[in-house]
């Protein structure tokens, strides 16, 4: 297993963990019967869900740039072979 595959697998898991923790905090806020704790849990849950969004967008950007680099390498090697 190469490092690239290990990092790719971790990139899929991180947003899922963030959204899972965010939803857990929001559900805990619904169960807890204390107003200050409810407010704190709702805020933490919402922040985790926002982090999930931004991490997902960063992963998509990283993946697309990596794909663009691979395509450029393939195109350059094909043009070298044709010459």
Q: Is 45 exposed, middle or buried (0-12, 13-18, 19+ CB in 10 A)?
A: buried
Q: Is 78 exposed, middle or buried (0-12, 13-18, 19+ CB in 10 A)?
A: exposed
Q: How far apart are CA 2 and CA 14, in angstroms?
A: 19
Note the pLDDT tens digit of each residue in 2-27.
545 555 666 778 888 899 999 999 99
Q: How far apart are CA 74 and CA 52, in angstroms?
A: 33
Q: Is the pTM of this model over 0.85?
A: no
Note the pLDDT tens digit of each residue in 27-66.
999 999 999 999 999 999 999 999 999 988 988 898 888 8
């Amino acid at each position: 297993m190469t490092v690239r595959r290990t990092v790719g697998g971790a990139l899929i898991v991180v947003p899922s963990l963030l959204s899972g923790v965010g939803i857990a905090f929001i559900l805990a806020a619904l169960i807890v019967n204390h107003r200050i704790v409810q407010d704190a849990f709702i805020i933490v849950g919402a922040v985790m869900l926002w982090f999930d969004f931004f991490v997902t967008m960063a992963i998509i950007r990283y993946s697309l740039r990596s794909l663009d680099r691979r395509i450029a390498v393939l195109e350059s090697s094909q043009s070298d072979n044709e010459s």
